Amino acid sequence: MLEIEQAREIITAGLSPLNPVIHPVSSTILGYFLGEDILADLDSPPFPKALMDGFAVRANEAAPGKALALNSMELSAGMAVDFALPPGCACPIMTGAPIPFGANAVVPLEFAKTTSTQVEFITGEINSGWNILPQGAEYKSGEKLLQTGDQITSQNIGILAACGKTSAFFHPAPKVAIVATGNEMVEPNQTPGPAQIRNSNATMLGALISESEGMPKYLGRAEDTEKSLEGIFQEAFTLDVAIITGGVSTGRLDLVPKVLSQMGVEILFHKINMKPGKPMLFGRTSRGTPVFALPGNPVSAFVCFHLFIRPALLALRGGKKEQREIPAALTQGLDYHSDRPTLHPACLKLGQVNQVTPATWFGSADMLSLSRANALIFLPAEKSSFAQGEVVRCLPTIRHLV
């Protein structure tokens, strides 16, 4: 039986980013990963520009107490400058305006006394380059500003716009099939009959996929027959990822592993040394579609998603491996014994010292306890008692903690 890290390595080893597609540059690409390098098409700034309102001067002429003739033209941002500053002159200039030829400093307004024809400066030595941003100071034409694999933030959208990019190549969001299995399942809008339960897994997984920037597609529920499973699996395998819930353990009606094998899926592992989630299966179709078959219990499916599927979706989107684990001190002692490493629901509070409180938890079907938690604690199998203040590994399960 595989350990958690071994299973993670097997999953990610065979994954590569989806082929980039061209997409308009807008707020809808936030969170996407670039599929191309972005090069500057111009210097920035494209001309030397004033950083303050004041007077453009030749630094060697603007000695304190010396009057310079006041140029009649005032330069403002957006104004083309096609003249040289005459010797012995100072030219009024606004922030962002191009520097006239010959000028090499800008003296701020507060350091000047003016008349209608002259300006005198009341500051110390004025140095060349004062309050001027040189052409290309931020970046040069042809310089790589963003690269393949960079995640798009609002700042990066600004960079794309500054480079004149109205569209660019991005790795698309993976299309993820969700298949529920089980004769006992009814959909959330139905009233369960005797011995039936509502299918909460599909809705929960759809939300988790959306949180992970994937595109979920619920294909429906399959009955516990080979024919029903095979029919719905064929459609699932046409998408980028297939997720199946239920039917993956060792019962007489747990037919998912058998049907997957019959359909040519290469089973790369079945069962992981963990709790909850032990029966999880992972394989690949002949066309390379990753197939995750999760246990039917909701907490098991939730834990398996965070440990294995979220990183897989990130890899398909072109992202780099996340470091999501956070150390935290237990706020209370915990006695818990299991023959397998356990992911225990908990409430994590970040601060100067991160603190975590184990949730009251009744096992892999206890969705209510999970809904009141925001993290999972890693509890090793070789230890059954954890002291208050002891530091444990935590995996956040809600976005604002990551």
Q: Could you tell me if residue 321 is inside a domain?
A: no
Confidence of residue 131 (pLDDT cuts 50, 70, 90): very high
Among 282, 316, 350, the domain-final residue is 316
Residues 300 and 189 in one domain: yes
Q: What are phi and psi of 205, to 5 degrees?
A: -65, -40
| CATH code (residue 383) | 2.40.340.10
pTM for this predicted structure: 0.88
Residue with tokens 């230890």: 383
Among 171, 194, 223, the domain-final residue is 171
Residues 98 and 181 in one domain: no
Q: What is the DSSP letter of 400?
A: G
Q: Tell me the percentage of the chain whose pLDDT exceeds 70.
A: 99
Residues 335 and 300 in one domain: no
The pLDDT of residue 81 is above 60: yes
Mean pLDDT of 347-364: 94
CA distance 367 to 79: 64
Residues 191 and 162 in one domain: no
Which residue did the predictor score with more confidence, 158 or 252? 158
Residue among 360, 201, 361 nearest 276 (CA):
361
**pLDDT of the residue at 195:** 92
**pLDDT of the residue at 266:** 98
Cα within 13 Å of Cα(270), Cβ side: 16
Mean pLDDT of 356-375: 92
Q: What is the DSSP string of 95-110?
A: TTPBPPBT--EEEEGG
**pLDDT of the residue at 321:** 87
Mean pLDDT of 373-391: 95
At 321 the three-state DSSP class reads: coil
**pLDDT of the residue at 165:** 97
**pLDDT of the residue at 64:** 85
- For the record, the structure tokens of 140 come out as 């040069």
The residue type found at 61 is E
Render pLDDT for 179-190 as a digit per residue (tens, 0 to 9).
999 999 889 999
Mean pLDDT of 4-21: 96
- E strand spans, 285-390: 290-294, 326-330, 334-335, 342-349, 355-358, 375-379, 385-386
Query: How many CB atoms are closer than 10 A to CB 127?
Result: 11
Confidence of residue 53 (pLDDT cuts 50, 70, 90): very high
Mean pLDDT of 6-34: 96
Render pLDDT for 182-236 as a digit per residue (tens, 0 to 9).
999 889 999 999 998 899 999 999 999 999 999 999 999 999 999 999 999 999 9
The pLDDT of residue 401 is above 80: no
Expressed as residue numbers, the domain containing 9 is 4-16+173-316
Q: How many domains does the chain have?
A: 4
Which residue did the predictor score with more confidence, 60 or 124? 60
Q: What value, to the nearest 5°, has the Cα angle with vertex 270 and ends 399 and 324?
A: 20
The pLDDT of residue 402 is above 60: no
**pLDDT of the residue at 247:** 92
Residues 284 and 331 in one domain: no
Residue among 168, 188, 252, 176 nearest 216 (CA):
176
At 121 the three-state DSSP class reads: strand
Q: Could you tell me if residue 211 is inside a domain?
A: yes
Question: Mean pLDDT across the chain, nearest whole number?
Answer: 95
CA distance 10 to 269: 8
- For the record, the structure tokens of 221 come out as 């529920």
Residues 302 and 181 in one domain: yes
Residue with tokens 């999760």: 294
